[in-house]
């Protein structure tokens, strides 16, 4: 098998926070199995929300020229995407939702949409609430979106009870599950 490429995408603005830590754990697992890994923090990038202009329907690409162009290139050059967002108000972070909405420009033409097919996705979702059900809207949104683009939802790492910076580090079972998901996704 050729060397697998893994891209981590962090949807929390809190650098070194729980989402960042979880995504790193997945990437570490993948690297331990010989994959190459890189990571982007969405809040470092200039990513505008979708304007719903439907320009992509005519042009096949988004009319908004910002960091999404380059991010799409990196995504489609990678085999595995580790998508992390904290739960914010029972949904994803605004940064993550803006990122996801921009996928709209990539599903207008069959040949573009086909590029999602077979990508392996690992979700990493911390939340302050102790009840994992709190992540149900984020998980449901991603299950439906990934099914729509025919990407493979490989693993979902939930970290309930992670409220303060770094809380997730103390959750041995969650950290091991994240690392294992990274190992298995590239094996
Ligand atoms: C604006 C905002 C909204 C939040 N809403 C929720 C929520 O609805 N449910 C929940 O369990 N935690 C909620 N939280 C807590 C975060 O999910 C939690 O602190 C998480 O660990 C943050 O991840 P991070 O460290 O990667 O930023 C919210 C936090 C913020 C800042």
CATH code for the domain in which residue 100 is found:
3.40.50.360
Task: Name the residue with the closest Cα to ligand 1, atom 15.
Answer: 128
pTM of the model: 0.98
Residue 187 or 67, more confident: 67
Indicate the top mutation candidate among 88, 92, 161 to test ligand 1's pocket, ranked by most ligand atoms within 8 A of CB. Answer: 88
Give the domain range for residue 73: 5-185
pLDDT tens column, 38-56: 999 999 999 999 999 999 9
pLDDT for 1 beyond 90: no
Which ligand 1 atom is nearest residue 20's CA? 26
C-alpha 123/C-alpha 23 separation (Å) is 9
**9: β partners:** 40, 83
Q: How many domains does the chain have?
A: 1
Cα angle 13, 148, 141 (rounded to 5 degrees) comes to: 40
């Amino acid at each position: 098998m050729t060397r697998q490429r893994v891209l981590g995408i962090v949807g929390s603005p809190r650098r070194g926070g729980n989402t960042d830590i979880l995504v790193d754990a997945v990437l570490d697992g993948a690297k331990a199995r010989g994959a190459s890994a890189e990571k982007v923090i969405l809040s470092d990038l200039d990513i505008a929300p979708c304007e719903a202009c439907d320009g992509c329907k005519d042009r096949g690409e988004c009319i908004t020229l910002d960091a999404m162009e380059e991010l799409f290139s990196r995504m489609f050059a990678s085999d595995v995407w580790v998508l992390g967002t904290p739960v914010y108000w029972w949904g994803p972070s605004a940064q993550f939702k803006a990122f996801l909405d921009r996928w709209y420009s990539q599903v207008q033409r069959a040949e573009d949409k086909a590029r999602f097919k077979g990508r392996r996705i690992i979700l990493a979702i911390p939340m302050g609430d102790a009840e994992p059900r709190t992540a149900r809207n984020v998980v449901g949104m991603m299950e439906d979106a990934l099914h729509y683009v025919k990407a493979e939802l490989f693993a979902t790492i939930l970290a309930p009870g992670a409220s303060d910076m770094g809380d997730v580090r103390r959750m041995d079972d969650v950290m091991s599950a994240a690392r294992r998901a990274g190992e298995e996704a590239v094996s």
